[in-house]
Amino acid sequence: MDESLHAIEVEAGHPLRLGMHETGGTFHFSVVSRHATGISLLLFDRGNREPTHVVELNPEQHRTGDVWHIGLKGQLHGKGYAIWVQGPSDPNEPRDLGPGQFLLDPYAAAILNRHGYDHNPDPANPFAINLVVDHAFDWEGVRRPRQAWRNLIIYETHVRGFTQDPASNVDHPGQYLGLVEKIPYLRELGITAVELLPVQEFRDYERWRPGVGWGSALRNYWGYNPVAFFAPKAGYASNADPRAAIIEFKTMVRELHRAGIEVILDVVFNHTPEGDETGPTISLRGLDASTYYLLTPDKKHYVDVTGCGNTLNCNHPIVRTLIIDCLRSWVVHFHIDGFRFDLASVLTRGQDGAMLHKPPLLEQMAEDPVLRDVKLIAEPWDAGGAFQVGSFPGRRWAESNSRYRDDVRRFWRGDAGMTGAFATRLSGSAALYQNAGKSPLNSINFVTCHDGFTLNDLVSYAHKHNQANGEDNRDGSAENFSENNGIEGPSDDPLIETVRLRQIKNMLVTLFVSRGVPMLLGGDEFRRSQAGNNNAYCQDNEISWYDWSLTERHAGLVRFVSRLIAFRKAHRVLGIGEFYTDQEISWFGGEGRAPEWQGRENRIGCVIGESGQEAANERLCLLFNATPAPCRFALPETATPWRMAVDTSKPSPGDIAEPGEEALFPDPGIVTVSPRSTIILVAG
């Protein structure tokens, strides 16, 4: 033990709670490492690379099983700490434990010098320090909104990109507090939940990449490269003090909750930036690579089903505990309402990498008492070939429904034979979920998301344009089901612009009248563009930032989306968490004919009305025409006349009526839907 341990009293500590935490004036620290032969805890003053204290943990006193633990009496709030691991040269580990390597605590709530793992000139020895934090915060009595699934209108956005552009006109651009300044906009739009791209502290730069190695300096804009699962991103705070990130993140959550808006975090538990056996040692690798990662049978290489060099061993009991503890921390300390799990199929893989029928991690998440009412959303695939849309284990899980995305895009593009698939998606994707005892609310419906084209680019580009990413346009999906409607990229041709705007409205209408949970990509409501880049993960610039001047240029579309969301909320039948019965929906084709489910022409109509004693006496008629020619539909008879609610062929404000101000439809028998347009009629 170092003689400099004045003013700090060392105790045995206890192993029952991992990480650093204070109890009764004692700071307890514990960490799991099966193969370590020695561990030291180093304490630092802020701004100092030399430790003020070095505490060696005695295995006889400070180790219980595989848990190393210690208690420290003294004032540690605001001090930094790091882990120093000693271990044998183990042939069963793809990398020695690395004597002298400073490691991040897997449970770190904040990082004192976050640039240490980005800018250190020695990639094999990054220098970063954990911060001892206090989670005290005044929530001012604001409670979680506890929105029902059927009431969710999700807005996916990026904390920095949302307000970084000068046109955002906020006092805190690119920050948690900048998002707070835009809450009135979100409320006016009708949003009830924001889904934030990763805010778990991540590496700012992609310095190591599979197949490339060191030297790439691409910006890690999206944030899918976490170094500290428990810590909010310090770079989104107003100053460099990592405590500011905790306070300002909580402030953002509190104010969103005050506005009735839930907060869903996009979380990454499938890989870390430590990469494969050639990558840096930052935390988990230095503690126990074979515990935390999936390894090849010879234990010399990392299994990679994430495309990022390694795969977390998620169903190992130690890693399961880490993940559950992390989710609990975000719920308890930060009042988070839900989580969207990146590459969630990794969570269903066993310790041999094979898919599990009943993954213990998913069962534990679903049944954990702290997480019992938290929303769980899976991205149900990974880079290793798993694709579980409609079959992700567990009824409690909602899924990002990529089949919805593709079928809606293909229908409106005019691909032949898509009418039946389109009707299925509109009705809640029963073929995917009903037989498994799930409901439409298990489907997160989306047409666009961060990963791919924006909605504007979907109708403006036939091909991806990712040259700015530095990979010769090889990255990003080549199968986008997009079209440019006459010319690749921006156009000032009024005819092209008319068709593009109409197609944007068609897909937005489809999204908000479909059963399931709608998710809107932030900025689609004002035609945000990424210049045809469908994989802007490294573009921390104008390509990704929201140009808020577009809200004025496309004010009519913003109004359209706001009224469209209000329309969904006003008509309960659209958000019911059950599949339609034959009494609730009837389908018909053009010219009074039966639907042509596999026909070449994508056009379909339906009448929707609730059944049962509590049903409101109202009906909706939805008419979709994805063909380049007008289509006549014969309207079903109603006890009350039809009124025009939406016509995407009309310019604003005639494209959507104010609630309760729908004009009487003049011809009760026939309606003509313009080319590539949607009409919604209401009766009752």
Looking at residue 560, what DSSP letter applies?
Answer: H
Backbone angles phi, psi at 381, to 5 degrees: -160, 170
Separation between Cα atoms, residue 429 and residue 22, nearest integer Å: 49
What is the DSSP-derived secondary structure letter of residue 167?
Answer: G
Positive or negative, the CA dihedral 508, 513, 514, 515 is positive
**Three-state secondary-structure class, residue 520:** strand
Active-site residue, 342 included: yes
Contact 504, 557 (CB under 8 A): yes
Q: How many Å apart are CA 377 and CA 375, to the nearest integer?
A: 7
Widest CA span of the chain, in angstroms? 93
d(CA 266, CA 163): 19
How many whole angstroms separate alpha carbon 659 and alpha carbon 640? 17
Which of the following is catalytic: 379, 407, 457, 610? Answer: 379
**Closest Cα partner for 370 from 318, 332, 315?**
332
Give the Cα separation of 641 and 85 in Å (integer). Answer: 77
Q: Determine the Cα–Cα distance for residues 142 and 139; give it in Å rounded to an integer.
A: 6
Q: Catalytic pick from 118, 337, 342, 610?
A: 342
Q: How far is CA 7 from CA 1, 52, 132, 626, in A?
A: 14, 11, 17, 75
How does DSSP classify residue 231? E
Q: CB under 8 Å to 367, separation ≥6 — which residues? A: none
To the query of whether residue 472 is one of the catalytic residues in this protein, the response is no
349, 392 contact by CB (below 8 A):
no
CB neighbourhood size of 316 (10 A): 20
Q: How far is CA 320 from its chain centroid?
A: 21
Neighbours of 12 (CB within 10 A): 16
Q: What distance, in Å, lies between the first and last C-alpha atoms of the chain?
A: 81
Active-site residues: which are they?
Answer: 342, 379
